[in-house]
Amino acid sequence: MKILVTGAAGFIGSAVCRHLLAHTEHSIVALDSLTYAAGYLDITRHSFNERVSFEKVDIRNLDELTRVFQVHQPNAVMHLAAESHVDRSIDGPLAFIATNVVGTANLLEAAKHHWSKLDQVSREGFRFHHISTDEVFGSLGTTGFFSESTPYSPNSPYSASKAGADHLVMAWHHTYGLPVVVTNCSNNYGPYHFPEKLIPLMIISALEGKPLPVYGNGANIRDWLFVEDHAEALCLVLERGSVGEKYNIGGNAERANLSVVKEICRILDELIPDDGGSRERLIQFVDDRPGHDFRYAIDASKIELELGWRPRFTFEQGLQKTVRWYLDNSVWWQELRQRSYNGERLGLSALK
């Protein structure tokens, strides 16, 4: 099978590509426009792997997408390209609409055009897998879980743009019969995570002895999913998920942000003790994110019961692996910090 993976140079897209290469025989058309967020540039090199062809293409460009489908004739699409950082969506929402909504509509059109020309067997086997977020469901109180039937109620420009994309994907299925599957997952963490996100930002800042900025009082709760578990789940849904269905994917690991930061400090203190004492002393409470959702939590029983998927890593195991990866790969994050993002606070424009 040949799979077109969009956002292949990003955090999760690159984990999906590594998973496909290590555990399947599929070939990959890796598509990415290489925005500031592209952190896995190895995949752009011709010599990377003979099963991978790289296409530097922007999903806002329908003509280019049409060309990619014509040239490569993929059997499936895994769509991960997106503007993905919530704080940036507060400062500049239109880029999120352009890529996440219009770009997804372009990809659907290009895929539909390609799919409509396939023979009957290939048409039935074709899949358009849209990768989305649990943030489309809005915010939970202290109890309850998001299921596949939870009504959409997105609160940030990012989550609203992803919700728009999810609706478009389902509309292309209902209207044109395009064989789609949609997954909504919780917060990922792991290797190659862009250093603007909570976990890598805290690891790097703690290593550098810089303040650890915790939004509000640190009580907001996220469910954390190790990215390699997510990549495995996505590949399973692509191969065995039912057409027209949605699957929630979660890590079964709810943690308050403050406790995540404290756990990172604990692991670092253990691995490289600091003369100044525990790195918890670096924690600083800062202005909350405008419209910060309180809690996300996933009911992942559908994917577990129907496809037999469960996360392999506990949060403690995944976090250990992640911290060690950042310690071993400082060249990667130092280069990215110089090129794209140096740890500054984003997303406060709504307060001005």
Ligand X SMILES: NC(=O)c1ccc[n+]([C@@H]2O[C@H](COP(=O)([O-])OP(=O)(O)OC[C@H]3O[C@@H](n4cnc5c(N)ncnc54)[C@H](O)[C@@H]3O)[C@@H](O)[C@H]2O)c1
Catalytic residues, which ones? 134-135, 158
Taking CA atoms, 326 is separated from 190, 195, 252, 303, 319, in Å, by 9, 10, 24, 31, 11
Give the residue, chosen from 3, 12, 108, 233, that forms a contact with ligand X under the rule CB under 6 A: 12
- As to burial, measured by CB atoms within 10 angstroms (0-12 exposed, 13-18 middle, 19+ buried), residue 151 is exposed
Give least dist CB 255 to ligand X, A.
Answer: 14
Using CB under 6 A as the binding rule, whether residue 248 contacts ligand X is answered as no
Contacting range for ligand X; rule: CB under 6 A; set: 58-66, 137-145, 250-258, 308-316: 58-66
Shortest separation between residue 29's beta carbon and ligand X, angstroms: 13
Q: Tell which one of 4, 5, 13, 215 touches ligand X (CB under 6 A).
A: 13
Q: Which one of 28, 131, 238, 265 is in contact with ligand X (CB under 6 A)?
A: 131
SS (H, E, C) the chain: CEEEEECCCCHHHHHHHHHHHHHCCCEEEEEECCCCCCCCHHHHCCCCCCCEEEEECCCCCHHHHHHHHHHHCCCEEEECCCCCCHHHHHHCHHHHHHHHHHHHHHHHHHHHHHHHCCCHHHHHHCEEEEEEEHHHHCCECCCCCECCCCCCCCCCHHHHHHHHHHHHHHHHHHHHCCCEEEEEECEEECCCCCCCCHHHHHHHHHHCCCCEEEECCCCCEEEEEEHHHHHHHHHHHHHHCCCCCEEEECCCCEEEHHHHHHHHHHHHHHHCCCCCCCHHHHEEEECCCCCCCCECCECCHHHHHHHCCCCCCCHHHHHHHHHHHHHHCHHHHHHHHHHCCCCCCCCCHHHC
**Per CB under 6 A, which region of 65-73, 81-89, 118-126, 136-144 contacts ligand X?**
81-89
Q: Which position among 55, 83, 166, 254 is part of the footprint of ligand X (CB under 6 A)?
A: 83
Query: Using the rule CB under 6 A, is 35 a contact of ligand X?
Result: yes
CB closer to ligand X out of 212 and 231? 231
Closer of 162 and 262 to ligand X (Cβ): 162
Reference 226, options 184, 266, 186, 265; nearest CA is 186
Judged by CB under 6 A, the residue of 19, 52, 78, 84 near ligand X is 84
The binder of ligand X chosen from 10, 164, 241, 250 (CB under 6 A): 10
Q: Which residues, in sequence order, are bridge partners of residue 256?
A: 221
Among 7, 191, 195, 318, binds ligand X (CB under 6 A): 7
Shortest reach from residue 185's CB to ligand X, in Å? 5
Q: Does 220 bind ligand X (CB under 6 A)?
A: no
Residue from 32, 223, 229, 263 touching ligand X (CB under 6 A): that is 32
Among 53, 104, 133, 205, binds ligand X (CB under 6 A): 133
Residues binding ligand X: number (CB under 6 A): 30
User: What character string, x for contact with ligand X (CB under 6 A) and - otherwise, covers 165-204?
Assistant: --------------------x-xx-----x----------
Q: Does 34 bind ligand X (CB under 6 A)?
A: yes
Using the rule CB under 6 A, give the single segment among 30-38, 66-74, 286-294, 327-335 that binds ligand X. Answer: 30-38
Give min distance, CB of 193 to ligand X, in A.
7
State the minimum distance, in angstroms, from the CB of residue 33 to ligand X: 4
**Does 150 contact ligand X by CB under 6 A?**
no
Q: Which residues bind ligand X (CB under 6 A)?
A: 7, 9-13, 32-35, 37-38, 58-60, 80-84, 99, 103, 131-133, 162, 185, 187-188, 194
